[in-house]
Amino acid sequence: MTIIDGKKTAADIRAELRVRAAAFEERYHKKVGLAVVLIGEDPASQVYVRNKIRGCEDAGIRSFAHYLPADVTQEGAEELVRSLAADDAVHGILVQLPLPGHLDAERILACIPAAKDVDGFSAENIGRLALHEEGTVACTPLGVMELLRRYGVETRGKRAVVIGRSNIVGRPMALLLLNADATVTVCHSRTVGLAEECARADILVAAIGKPDFVTADMVKEGAVVIDVGINRVDGKLTGDVDYASVSKKASLITPVPGGVGPMTIAMLLSNAISCAERAAR
Ligand code: NAD
């Protein structure tokens, strides 16, 4: 059994990103620019934003941090995003979610043009993914594909099962695996016979948000198991997969923490550079 080391893989990717960002700067005489918008004071969001800004510094990407108060108006938030959309120094725009309850997140995100949508959440980018066209793909599922690729996991003709159908993880994950020639099944909260579906998977991706949900009886001997879940139990992080039992059956498995998690920011930075490269073409 091999433990997929997301921390090391993300560090390798970040080293490659520094080279890509520097090459962009040398060629176009400006830095790749990523704008990060944080509205309100949610502590988890503050940590995420701080890490993303640090990631930018580390990769040689210029970050534009914008902090708006929790009581900002809908118009105020949209105005900021529109001004970033019009700014040539900004190649990517990220609005940290969740937003305070009085704001309409969809309308704010709609102010981000698809070409600057580094999270890949826009209808245009999801449509491009569904059509298997070039575009920006959501960072977490993209990170999973990168782990599979770098660990030499064949996807062509393999049975992949994704548990979860959210717009930010499960759905784009299923499309990516389909585009990579896997035979894909998507399971969700209304799936009947979930354990049997999972037990057929050569590649099993869990993105549910329920600690230790995937148990050994749901996993085929030798399967590749990817745990996207991040759950906090008694102050400790744990995934959606019962690692202790499942790791005895899997051929490759991601731990939590240190698996998929570190890949997400690396993919965000990669998306920012790709947006800048596409804009400059
Ligand atoms: P979500 O709540 O939006 O979606 C969860 C999905 O799981 C839903 O589609 C639902 O149908 C499915 N589900 C729920 N209960 C189920 C059940 N009993 N049986 C089968 N399916 C069930 O969550 P999300 O945003 O997709 O995130 C999923 C997990 O991934 C969470 O733990 C989240 O914290 C984590 N996550 C991690 C990263 C990362 O960087 N590693 C990024 C995003 C999300």
Q: Is residue 9 part of a domain?
A: no
159 and 254 both lie in a single domain: yes
Q: To which residue do tokens 């690729």 refer?
A: 149
- Residues 6 or more apart whose CB falls under 8 angstroms from that of 240 comprise 163, 206, 207, 208, 209, 210, 211, 212, 213, 214, 227, 228, 229, 231
Q: Are residues 161 and 242 in the same domain?
A: yes
Cα of 258 from ligand 1 centre, angstroms:
18
186 & 84 share domain: no
The answer to whether residue 240 is catalytic is: no
Question: What CATH number did the domain enclosing 107 receive?
Answer: 3.40.50.10860
* Amino acid 113: pLDDT: 98
Residues of the chain below pLDDT 70: none
Q: Ligand 1 centre from 208 Cα, in Å?
A: 3
Q: How far, in Å, is the centroid of ligand 1 from the Cα of 149?
A: 23
234 is catalytic: no
What are the tens digits of pLDDT across the range 97-138?
999 999 999 999 999 999 999 999 999 999 999 999 999 999
107 with 170, same domain?
A: no
pLDDT value at position 186?
98
C-alpha closest to that of 24 among 279, 275, 273: 273
The DSSP secondary structure of 131-166, one letter per residue, reads TT-S----HHHHHHHHHHHHTT---TT-EEEEE---
Question: Based on the domain organization, do 246 and 207 belong to the same domain?
Answer: yes
Distance from residue 210's CA to the centre of ligand 1 (Å) = 8
Asked whether the beta carbons of 239 and 210 are under 8 A apart, the reply is no
Residues 6+ apart with CB under 8 A from 203: 148, 153, 155, 158, 159, 160, 161, 177, 182, 223, 224, 226
CB-based burial of residue 247 (10 Å sphere; 0-12 exposed, 13-18 middle, 19+ buried)? middle
Q: For ligand 1, is residue 165 a contact (CB within 6 Å)? A: yes
Residues 237, 192, single domain; the answer is yes
Name the catalytic one among 5, 31, 96, 117.
96
Contact 7, 260 (CB under 8 A): no
Distance CA 99, CA 196 (A): 38
- For the chain, first and last CA: distance in Å? 43
CB of 188 closer than 6 angstroms to any ligand 1 atom: yes
Residue 35 and residue 106 in one domain: yes
Answer whether 130's CB lies under 8 Å from 175's CB. yes
Is residue 258 within 6 Å of ligand 1 at its C-beta? no
Domain co-membership, 152 together with 82: no
| Confidence at residue 55, expressed as pLDDT on a 0 to 100 scale | 97
Has residue 74 been placed in a domain?
yes
Q: Choosing from 5, 116, 117, 119, which is the catalytic residue?
A: 119
**Residue 147 neighbours by CB under 8 Å, 6+ apart:** 4, 6, 9, 226, 254, 259, 260, 263
**Mutational pocket test of ligand 1: of 45, 140, 145, 166, the residue with most ligand atoms within 8 Å of the beta carbon:** 166
Phi and psi at residue 253, to the nearest 5° = -150, 145
Extended strands (E) in 164-278: 183-187, 203-206, 224-227, 231-233, 236-238, 252-253
Q: What percentage of the chain reaches a pLDDT higher than 70?
A: 100
Average pLDDT of the chain, as a whole number: 98
* Residue 152, number of CB atoms within 10 A of its CB: 8
pLDDT digits (tens, 9 = 90+) for 180-200: 999 999 999 999 999 999 999
| 164 pocket-lining for ligand 1 (C-beta < 6 Å) | yes
Co-location of 168 and 238 in the same domain: yes
Domain assignment of residue 122, yes or no: no
3-state secondary structure of 40: coil
- Give residue 197's domain range: 139-262
What is the residue type of 153?
V
Domain presence at residue 157: yes
Question: Domain containing 145 — which CATH number?
Answer: 3.40.50.720
pLDDT at 61: 98
- Please tell me the predicted confidence (pLDDT) of residue 265: 96
Look up residue 109 and give its amino acid: L
Q: Tell which phi-psi region holds residue 234, choosing left (phi > 0), alpha (psi between -120 and 50) or beta.
A: left
> What pLDDT sits at residue 179?
98
Query: What percent of the chain clears pLDDT 90, i.e. is strictly above it?
Result: 100
Number of domains in the chain: 2
Q: Which residue has the tokens 């298997």?
A: 132
56 and 144 inside one domain: no
Options 52, 116, 158, 220, the catalytic residue: 52
Is the residue at 152 inside a domain? Answer: yes
Q: Are residues 171 and 99 part of one domain?
A: no
Q: What is the pLDDT of residue 164?
A: 98
Q: Is the distance from the beta carbon of residue 238 to the nearest atom of ligand 1 less than 6 Å?
A: no
> Taking the complete model, does pTM exceed 0.95, yes or no?
yes
